[in-house]
Amino acid sequence: TPNSRKSNRRTQSFYLAFSYMKLYRSNAEPEFVYLSDSGIPASVRRDLVRHDKKLIIPNNSPEADAEYSFFSNDELKTKSIETSKRNEIAYYKYLGEQLLRQSGLSYAIVRVSELIELPDADISAIELKQENGDIIPVSISDAANVCVCSILDPTACNKSFYVSKISSRSSQASSVVPFEEGLSVKLSRLKSNS
């Protein structure tokens, strides 16, 4: 009978604990564009991030596979202050990238080497790469245009890339397309991080 079935059923409760959850929303374009540093390698192993020294050791560095050693006082004095400051900035920008990736927001990470002021920037001669070799500095207006176009382009979702000027020696320099048309095509060729 239906009444006897109800008496046999017992409500059981359980506890489910989450330590990490990432939700994916279907956004058409990135919610956040992060301007980062080209000093950050394309892939960073956890053991190459030195939190104690606020430093990222490049993958191709002899230190990457060697035992870690501390600098002597003489070596520390000879190190350039600018280099150590740039390494520290790259370290903090890397931490920002990691926070953004773990946030659940859709993003585009734009990495540039340095921003230079050029009055008449040629924005059509921009190259987007996923490796950080041969990065040529771009103008402030080039970087701004890439950031604005990335936030409006669905193909930029969850991608990190390096922005560089196309060198005059490059074979790509002869086949330059208009910036607005070319950026979407260039972004679609890049691999997504997720």
Closest by CA to 178, choosing from 168, 169, 189, 186, is 186
Tokens 């956004």 sit on residue: 27
Closest by CA to 90, choosing from 134, 44, 128, 129, is 44
Q: Answer yes or no: is pLDDT of 114 > 70.
A: yes
Q: What is the pLDDT of residue 116?
A: 85
* Range list of H helices, the chain: 2-8, 62-65, 73-78, 81-102, 140-151, 179-189
* Residue 161 contacts residue 128 (beta carbons within 8 Å): yes
Closest by CA to 123, choosing from 185, 171, 166, is 166
Q: What is the pLDDT of residue 158?
A: 92
The CA distance from 109 to 103, in Å, is: 14
Tokens 């659940």 sit on residue: 104
Tokens 């927001």 sit on residue: 105
* Confidence at 119, pLDDT banded by 50, 70, 90: low
Phi, psi of 146, deg, nearest 5 = -65, -45
Burial class from Cβ neighbours inside 10 Å (0-12, 13-18, 19+) for residue 84 reads middle
Encoded tokens for 40: 């950050």
Mean pLDDT check: name the lowest of 23-37, 76-90, 107-121.
76-90
Strand partners, 108: 33, 159
Provide mean pLDDT across the span 115-124: 68
The CA distance from 165 to 142, in Å, is: 9
The reported pTM is 0.69
The tens digit of pLDDT for each residue in 18-62 reads 887 776 666 678 999 999 998 888 888 888 888 888 888 866 555
Supply angle C-alpha 128, 152, 185, rounded to 5: 40
Q: Are β-strands 32-37 and 107-112 bridged in parallel, bridged antiparallel, or unpaired?
A: parallel
* Confidence at 107, pLDDT banded by 50, 70, 90: very high
Mean pLDDT of the chain: 77
The tens digit of pLDDT for each residue in 145-179 reads 899 999 989 999 999 999 998 876 554 544 445 55
The tens digit of pLDDT for each residue in 62-74 reads 554 444 344 444 5
Provide mean pLDDT across the span 88-112: 92
* Confidence at 101, pLDDT banded by 50, 70, 90: very high
Proportion of the chain above pLDDT 70, given as a percent: 69
